[in-house]
A and B are shown apart, each in its own frame.
Chain A
Amino acid sequence: MPIPVAPDAEWLWANEPCRAACPVHTDAGAYVTAIAEGRFEDAYLIARAPNPFPSVCGRVCAAPCERACRRGSVDAPVSIRALKRFVTERFGVESFAANTIWHAAHGEVPPASGPSVGVIGGGPAGLSAACDLRLAGHPVTVYEAQDRLGGMMVLGIPEYRLPRALIAREIEAIVELGIDVETNARIGETHSITDLLDRHAALFLAVGTGRARDLDLPGHDLDGVLRAVEYLLNVNQGFRVDLGERVVVVGGGNVAFDAARTALRAASAGTAEPAPVTLSATSDEDARRAMTTTLDVARAARRAGVLDVTIIALESPEEIPADPEEIDEAEREGIRIVYRRGPHRFVGDAKVTGLETIAVSSVFDAEGRFSPTFEPGTEEVLPADTVILAVGQGADVSFLDAVGLERNRVGGVQIDPDSLRTSDPRVWAGGDVAHGPRNLIDAIADGQRAAASMHGALTGSPPITTTHAVRVELRTGFRRLDSDYDAIPRQVIPATPTERRVGFGEVETGYDEHQARLEGMRCLRCFDNIMLSPELCILCGLCVDVCPPNCITIARADHVGLGNEQQSVLLLDEDLCIRCGLCVNRCPPGALSMVHARELTRD
């Protein structure tokens, strides 16, 4: 059999955008197709393998995989997160199987005989690090400042999106591996950092960013001006917060409000334009996350019984960095969103009575950079009993002063980006405290990377390389004619009717089996790759003719700099290919073939 021209393993690995985009590299394509084939338990095990929190992620993951999903360029991306939830409901910690299949995924737990590790912070980063370190044979102790583990999963995400029992079960599964936990352990109060360094061979610092940022405007210290993190933290711990009858939520990320404040000052002074801010990939993510918090706060307030909830946003409906579905849900629940207005001044004596807002004339400049400008003279007062600020959050790491760790620009801990090691060789840091507020799944990935790096440093084993091993096999007789996968629309995720959304019951109810299998069938299967055996190719062009998305090209080799004028090349546009295999089916000499690539799991 002549050998086709094959890309290398790295290329094949990266050619599955969902897996490449996932911080923990979950093989989404594999579990989505397993669901389509009705192999639900396999699907769960695939989703569970790289991630100790599959059930949590199935509900609240920011799903970078979906934004990368190639199906998105055909119609809409595969609902990967909802499919994960579908299998975790059957086999995850919330199912009858409880923690058994969760544990089946990791095999034997070795005895805790290695150097001991302390994890400061029981959030997703800390717990995933603890999980991996324990499985690598280290005794692990987690120190958590609150009375329960979970960090932002518990404190920052409202219950209607993520049931508390579910988080508890998934954390319980991790703790069952044999991890010691100390709650109410505040570093700097109950323990000192030097004590912990004496007790453990290494520390992983994952304390998150629990301190809310303030909006430095006149009247910001009035009663009734709350910070989103504090509000959510109180509500999520079960405390009652009196909000009054009218609530205004001010939404926007760290970058948005840094830029907005500068602009406001310029507008008040009636002077020069402020410098525009270039939005990097991180600040884009920050804005999206902040808007999610804003919507969470508004919806939590609505559930707490407040009838009049208003969100003010700098952006227009087209510019707002939130999923349209989320905005729709909020509006359906009766939340009013006022676009293109910024906060100007808090009104009231001692107690806030309103928020003065100002019109935004533009958010982005001509080059598309973030540069809000305001129109002086358009001030209006929005009456409010409570104003909640969702304008970003920062880390509180004052307890570290004792060991003199280097800090980063935004007040967190400075780390080496590859090893996650801090300036103290015995301390590693990850999650929000090192990177600023990010997604849940990024935190989990950080914990795993830190665990690998710590394990390597503590045992002297070689650092894990980032190369990938891929097994390829020829898929003989590949046919996809019977399947109607390309015509199936994205399955709507079922949700509780609006009138029944009271209290803190979950809003999304998840797919049933039929919907899940339909949705799973929508996967284009980027792990199947088209290969050519050039010596068999007769250049008939039938592949070009039959290709539905026009992704195959025949060109003279010299025109693309790959040979001389007597040679021809076949090119395939990977962005367009839908893996229908019609080219393979039609190729008269059988020069084209379908090759299945599967990542080899490393031990």
Chain B
Amino acid sequence: MTDVDTDREGLEPGRTSVDHGITARIKRSDTYRSVFRHAQLDTPRGRALQSFSNFFLHLYPVKIPKRVLRNRYSYRLGFIAAVLFGILLVTGIYLMFVYTPSVGSAYGDMQHLKTGVGFGQLIRNIHRWAAHLMVLVVFLHLVRVFYAGAYKAPREFNWVIGVMLLLLTLAFSFTGYLLPWDQLAYWAVTVGTGLVHYIPLLGGKTQDLLIGGPQVGQNTLLRFYALHVAVLPMLLVLMLAVHIWRVRKDGFAVQRTSVGAFAEEATERPAAAAAAPMAQAEPDLYGGRVRLLGVVDRESITEAARPVDDTVFTWPHLLVRHVVVALGTAAVVLGLAVSFSAPLRGLANPNVTPEPAKAPWYFAGLQELLSRFDPLVAGILIPTGAVLTFLLLPYIDRNPDTRASHRKVAILLFSVLLAIAAVLTIIGVFFRGPGWKFIAPWTHSYIEF
């Protein structure tokens, strides 16, 4: 340990005498300070430095508008989705150590998890539940953003990225569905990939590309595995980074026009300060001691200006809430994982079709649709149309107003679509039995999560 730098002696916040304890000495040493640049100071600057000089907290802005702290503001859905993704990454890596993507051993590896791997089944359960919850939470996040009108300028493009993230989440879930190589996995993917076949002209080729042969087999497993553990994570991490970055860049749902309010605030500084014996660059203009740093010849593309009193430091206000939400999310996932095991049916058998062969729950609505309409319409036109509509929503809905009372048509249309999708999904999941016959869910459940 190097010598104590005299400049730092006794500088622990609030102290007037030097602390000679061993921890305090270490914290004052040059070595410690080469790693942690500054002490933990309970001052405004100290709080700013927590975010400013910490790689991990760098994702956050230093300050956030106060209203962001209210749970009602976002219900923290985006953050919960990110936490779930983190859980999936960690448990997924654990599972990679004990899984071989081969039709010969995949199923055996799944069985081996139960008995031969420490916490193997629990980890698989957590992975499974976190995956289901992520699909749900990402979708709810999208719904919340729509109702809040938060996809409007200047956040149009972040909505587009958000929709892509939802598609990536579905792709993640779908590719992962196959990996256990049991009957459930095999037939769900067979049904799912079967839809691709209906794409006009390119359907056959695309299906071939996706499953690597005439039917789901070793090639499919390897492709899905590679997508699941390499391609999709890279894409998702990249786009998530852009998504979060843009949340900061585009502002926290701040009206662009709020700049006016702030400027007024700047000009309405109390005149008392002007009485101070200070020379003033433009006393009439600013009052007080606000100095013009410079006039920049362009419009501000991002909205940094907001009333001064409206912001709080990320550290500790938002961070504490995020820690609580993350712990809560982990607790819910763990609770589900302990209570409900991930299903493992018999080894995948292309010759025995289970009755009914159901797609994963989030595609059940689509499957229900398919049973009623022409496959081209239900399997291709409607989903593609829906995805495109969602992607382009901010550019279709040009109404700049975010207040619900001023966008009744948009909200009504969205709500109707949402209701239809929900009803179809519920029917597909709970009310369909063998032969896609209508059954009462309390007689027998044909769904497994």
Contact = CB atoms under 8 A, between A and B. Distances in A.
A484 B273 CA distance: 28
Nearest to A10: B279
B275 to A, nearest CB: 10
Nearest to B248: A545
Interface stretch (A44-52, A108-116, A371-379, A487-495): A487-495
B328 to A, nearest CB: 28
A460 B61 CA distance: 63
A472 to B, nearest CB: 15
Pick the most buried of A530, A541, A562, A586: most chain B CB atoms within 10 A of its CB: A541
A457 B229 CA distance: 90
A553 B279 contact: no
Interface stretch (A162-170, A227-235, A386-394, A567-575): A567-575
B7 A553 contact: no
A531 B263 contact: no
A481 interface: yes
A561 B285 contact: yes
A interface bracket (residues with beta carbon within 8 Å of B): 35 or more
B293 interface: yes
Interface stretch (A11-19, A257-265, A415-423): A11-19
Interface string A546-570: 1111101111110111110111111
Interface stretch (A214-222, A314-322, A513-521): A513-521
A555 B305 contact: yes
A541 B305 contact: yes
B70 interface: no
Contact of A20 (B10, B46, B278, B293): B278
Given A481-B49, A582-B52, A544 B13 contact: no
Given A17-B278, A487-B13, A567 B48 contact: no
Interface in A554-603: 554-557, 559-563, 565-575, 578, 580, 582, 585-586, 592
Interface in A504-554: 514, 517-518, 521, 530-535, 537, 539-542, 544-550, 552-554
B41 to A, nearest CB: 4
A12 B62 CA distance: 30
Contact of B45 (A20, A531, A571, A578): A578
B293 A571 contact: yes
B355 interface: no
B295 interface: yes
Contact of B300 (A487, A533, A554): A554
Contacts of A569: 292-296
A567 to B, nearest CB: 5
B8 A484 contact: yes
B393 to A, nearest CB: 27
Interface in B275-294: 276-281, 285-286, 288-294
B289 A575 contact: yes
Contacts of B281: 7, 11
A4 B294 CA distance: 8
B317 interface: no
Contacts of B222: none
Contacts of A571: 266, 286, 290-293
Nearest to B309: A550
A47 to B, nearest CB: 21
A553 B266 contact: yes
Interface in B147-189: none
Interface residues of B, number: 67
A273 interface: no
A483 interface: yes
A174 to B, nearest CB: 29
Given A10-B279, A555-B262, A574-B289, A483 B7 contact: yes
Interface stretch (B32-40, B85-93, B103-111, B202-210): B32-40
Contacts of B63: 545-546, 550
Given A541-B302, A560-B267, A486 B294 contact: no
B259 interface: yes
A572 B286 CA distance: 10
Given A514-B9, A539-B298, A560 B45 contact: no
Contacts of B14: 487, 489
Interface string A184-209: 00000000000000000000000000
Nearest to A491: B16
A548 B47 contact: yes
Interface in A413-446: none
A487 B13 CA distance: 5
A531 B293 CA distance: 6
A534 B285 CA distance: 19
A5 interface: yes
A579 to B, nearest CB: 10
B41 A5 contact: no
A556 B294 contact: no
A521 B43 CA distance: 15
Given A549-B44, A557-B295, A482 B37 contact: yes
B46 A534 contact: no
Contact of A560 (B280, B285, B298): B285
A484 B39 contact: yes
A514 B44 CA distance: 25
A571 B13 CA distance: 30
Contact of B294 (A532, A540, A542, A561): A532
A128 to B, nearest CB: 22
Contacts of A560: 263, 266-267, 285-286
A21 interface: yes
B41 A486 contact: yes
Nearest to A569: B295
B264 interface: yes
A542 B61 CA distance: 9
Nearest to A521: B7
A5 B278 contact: no
Interface in B34-91: 37-39, 41-49, 52-53, 61-63
Given A487-B42, A549-B44, A568 B52 contact: no
B6 interface: yes
Contact of A545 (B33, B37, B298, B304): B304
Contact of A562 (B18, B52, B285): B285
A550 B64 CA distance: 12
A548 B45 contact: yes
21 contacts: A5-B294, A5-B295, A11-B291, A13-B279, A17-B276, A17-B278, A486-B43, A487-B14, A489-B16, A534-B296, A539-B300, A544-B304, A545-B63, A548-B47, A556-B300, A559-B264, A571-B292, A572-B293, A573-B291, A574-B289, A575-B289
8 closest A-B pairs (Cβ-Cβ)? A541-B304, A559-B263, A534-B294, A548-B44, A555-B263, A532-B293, A532-B294, A487-B13
Given A487-B39, A575-B289, 19 more contacts: A14-B277, A15-B278, A481-B38, A482-B33, A484-B38, A492-B16, A531-B293, A539-B299, A541-B305, A544-B304, A546-B63, A554-B259, A555-B305, A560-B266, A566-B297, A567-B295, A574-B278, A575-B288, A582-B52
